[in-house]
Amino acid sequence: MHSPKNCFYFFLCPIVLFMTSCEPDRPVYNSLDEYPIYAFADLGVTYSPSATTFKFWSPAAQRARVKLYVTDQLEEEPDQTIDMKEVDGAWTATVDRNLDGVYYTYQIRVNGNWKAEATDPYARAVGTNGLRGQVVNLRDTDPDGWATDSKPIFGAKQNAILYELHVRDLSIDPNSGIEHKGKFLGLTERGTTTPSGLATGLDHLVEMGITHVHLLPSYDFFTVDESRPDDAQYNWGYDPQNYNVPEGSYSTDPADGKVRIREFKQMVMALHEAGIRVIMDVVYNHTGRSEDSHFQELIPDYFYRFRKDGTMSDASGCGNEIASERPMVRKYIRESVAYWMREYHVDGFRFDLMGIHDIATMNEISKQLHEIEPTVLLYGEGWMAAKSPLPDSLLALKANTARLDRIAAFSDDYRDGIKGSVFEHEEKGFVSGARNLEQTIRFGVVGATRHDQIAYDSVNYSSAPWAPEPTQAISYASCHDNHTLWDRLAISNPQDGSARREKMQRLALAMVLTSQGIPFLHAGSEMCRTKGGEENSYKSGDDVNAIKWKDKARHEKTLTYVKDLIALRKTHPAFRLGTTAAIQQHLNFIETEDDQLVAYRIAGVPEDSWNDIIVLYNGAGNSKRLDLPEGKWAVMSQDGLVDTEGIGRPVMRRVTVAGASMTVLVQ
């Protein structure tokens, strides 16, 4: 019974008014910073066949309840509504029966009013469109052999070769030969081919020799309507809804929470069996919805940053930004990524707009995940889409990479140096003949680390090295954002034919794969992937986004070249030295007196059978010549070919490098 002192006009109001307007004793908090921290790791659902406990954190709530449903159909009324009580700062309720398969929502009362029902932010299973959580026995979701699933052998971080892929893009093309088109299961199929017999899908990834597949957001996002699974719907997935649940449209049954979980695990296990590790692209910097997100409905204002005028700040450019610096938000993100590692055997994470997160949160995440798995790979975008209320000095920006613990950032310096600015579409880059980019290319070659032969005042974006070690720089020429490399080169070089542009494409990928940062490839770039000139195709549909497998035959030379370069990098440690000290000791630039010809020498690497290597990048349209150090130099790569037995006769005194190409020499 409520105490009379908590009831407004207790002796005057009728009993109905009393029951709806009077609240139990609750602490009064003057600010969000005063909210208590819940210290335990059991938020969400704790299931057993005999009982299920529901628990979520919401200091703002005056009352809370959980509603149980036998179906995920929204028009259905709840089967049961249960009042929750507060224990240790969290709202909790226990039901003493087997709830396996039952759906649920939470609802809180604030300022005398019940807010809308919302999905449990800590839910680990959901129904269609993620609008109701689901109680499941997670052990029922483990595929056969899951307990013995093992990660592919992987040592130092510099050995990684990343391949960024959208789940649907890989298989949806009619020529993919894949049965489960657009699904997690599409990545489990072996032996799939094009009509002409070329490997597709998972077999293609194995053929390429990559070490990690980086999956674009594969947690539950809200823009694809899962109730229409057979419709051609598309989105990249950068609109998070339920962070701890796989996306339902990539499963064969979005209504059954167990199916999407099991099929995600089947995908991971198939990739592991094929020797490929799995990186998840995660978007903890913002939520897909803002004022009506389930975070805002259940934990008002706490998960977001706000401007001084009370409006939501928007460093993401998507309507809001997550307040990662708050203790319970930090705890949420940290526990979420750890859950994906433990429950789904994920091997690493790419953080979207990582620059919005605070440094302390990112370092806590890194510390925890490295304790779980020392070979975990962590990297992200070291920038924001707009200004944040949090000072730059506290944020995980590229310029602050030295303060990040074993976390890498993307090198936009190298990306735009290679092909031209992503914001100025007609601007040429090094591979398409631009001048005065030599220092930027050198900066990319050494993975944004310190090197005495770089004039930092001539680097395009960075006036100083920002990566303390090369393993903290991601080298790339293109990704899902902006134009594909092939389309970008077509826009900035309209006067050049496709054969000429394909040489530029090969040079760009060769530069990524022979530089000292961690190489990152956009899926399909090895076969000159096009999106028909569309820039940000996040909802453009399959006709634009699908990997078109007939391109594999059309661009066989480029495909073979990339595959051979991956093998070259994996065979020769000189191209992945791993530390700044080793780069400074073994890599020296050769002065060419020509800003369109970048040359460097890697010598004396003890672990490499090649003792003396010269690499030359020619970004000009015409061939270039360079005098060589004394001795005979075998040509191992030249003008889009790789042959470690040697191409033609060894050269002495001088070498000619074809236009828009790379040459690799070994003494």
Task: Read off the pLDDT of residues 156-181 as tens digits, 9 standing for 90 and up.
Answer: 999 999 999 999 999 999 999 999 99
Q: Which helix (H) or strand (E) holds 317?
A: none
Catalytic residue among 117, 173, 189, 352: 352
352 is annotated as an active-site residue: yes
Strand, helix or coil for residue 654: strand
Q: Is there a contact between 504 and 510 (Cβ–Cβ < 8 Å)?
A: no
Query: What is the per-residue pLDDT for 89?
Result: 83
Residues near 495 by beta carbon (within 8 Å), at least 6 away in sequence = none
User: CA-to-CA distance for 499 and 497, rounded, in angstroms?
Assistant: 6
Q: Which residue, 539, 487, 532, 536, is CA-closest to 508? A: 487
Catalytic residue among 117, 164, 381, 469: 381
User: CA-to-CA distance for 196 and 362, rounded, in angstroms?
Assistant: 47
Query: What is the per-residue pLDDT for 88?
Result: 83
Q: Is there a contact between 351 and 215 (Cβ–Cβ < 8 Å)?
A: no
Per-residue HEC secondary structure of 135-198 comes to CCCHHHHCCCCHHHCCCCCCCCHHHCCEEEECHHHHHCCHHHCCCCCCCHHHHCCCCCECCCCC
User: CA-to-CA distance for 249 and 245, rounded, in angstroms?
Assistant: 12
Q: Is there a contact between 205 and 222 (Cβ–Cβ < 8 Å)?
A: no
Q: Which residue, 271, 145, 259, is CA-closest to 202? A: 271
381 is annotated as an active-site residue: yes
Residue-wise pLDDT for 599-634, tens only, equals: 999 999 999 999 999 999 999 999 999 999 999 999
Residues near 93 by beta carbon (within 8 Å), at least 6 away in sequence = 53, 54, 65, 66, 82, 83, 84, 85
Residue stretches of the chain with pLDDT short of 70: 1-24
CB atoms closer than 10 angstroms to residue 606: 8
